[in-house]
Amino acid sequence: MASKLLRAVILGPPGSGKGTVCQRIAQSFGLQHLSSGHFLRENIKANTEVGDMAKQYIEKGLLVPDHVITRLMMSELENRRGEPWLLDGFPRTLVQAEALDKICELDLVITLNIPFETLKDRLSRRWIHPPSGRVYNLDFNPPHVHGIDDITGEPLVQQEDDKPEAVAARLRQYKDVAKPVIELYKSRGVLHQFSGTETNKIWPYVYTLFSNKITPIQSKEAY
């Protein structure tokens, strides 16, 4: 292991394969995969103060505001001061990035650039199990039984915002918000951009980048 604790962030639009890349990085390099979506679900389920605040926005179909997400993530990161981690879904905005700056210095920021048509196709093939947040893709990660979660046997749903007409608006919104965050990390020299249409083709380059910073515990061929 590297003597310094690695602090990394992954950025990418919905459908970019971010979740898959995060899992592979976490398994290959022993990093904690910290997903803002996962922490949100956990806090909502546990009825914490910040979970209840977030729930009010989600129930109205609104984005959870910066101050709520930031508060949630800061407390999670405080609990993990001694662990190397990979952040997924945070920071999404410049305000969130500035808050993160106050508690740590990032070593690596990865952004996934995937063509719009690929994202549109992937999202239209995406089904989720809302209670757990498990995501299935009918092409490369289908459930064992169509429309049913592998673990609980409960039904899968397609989110309204994964339907084709909503995807374009989501991607535009992501680009607008992510642009200043990407520019910030680019100016600091920690940003690494990966482009392509297939996660398996992008993965070896991501693996090599991390290998230069931290000793792998699993080979990239494990996938």
What phi and psi, each to the nearest 5 degrees, are found at residue 110? -110, 135
SS3 32: strand
- CB distance 6 to 213 below 8 Å: yes
190 annotated among ligand-binding-site residues: no
119 annotated among ligand-binding-site residues: no
196 annotated among ligand-binding-site residues: no
96 annotated among ligand-binding-site residues: yes
What phi and psi, each to the nearest 5 degrees, are found at residue 162? -95, -5
82 annotated among ligand-binding-site residues: no
- CB distance 5 to 82 below 8 Å: yes
207 annotated among ligand-binding-site residues: no
Sign of CA dihedral 153, 122, 58, 34: positive
126 annotated among ligand-binding-site residues: yes
| Spatial separation of the C-alpha atoms in residues 216 and 48, rounded to whole Å | 36
Peptide bond into 91 cis (omega under 30): yes
16 annotated among ligand-binding-site residues: yes
Residue 220 DSSP code: G
24 annotated among ligand-binding-site residues: no
| Spatial separation of the C-alpha atoms in residues 223 and 218, rounded to whole Å | 10
Residue closest to 75 by CA, chosen among 103, 117, 95: 103
E-only strand ranges, 45-101: 85-88
91 annotated among ligand-binding-site residues: yes
- CB distance 110 to 22 below 8 Å: no
135 annotated among ligand-binding-site residues: yes
92 annotated among ligand-binding-site residues: yes
64 annotated among ligand-binding-site residues: yes
20 annotated among ligand-binding-site residues: yes
Binding-site residues from annotation: 15-20, 36, 41, 62-64, 89-92, 96, 126, 135-136, 170, 199
Binding-site annotation, residues for AMP: 36, 41, 62-64, 89-92, 96, 170
Annotated binding site for a ribonucleoside 5'-triphosphate: 15-20, 126, 135-136, 199
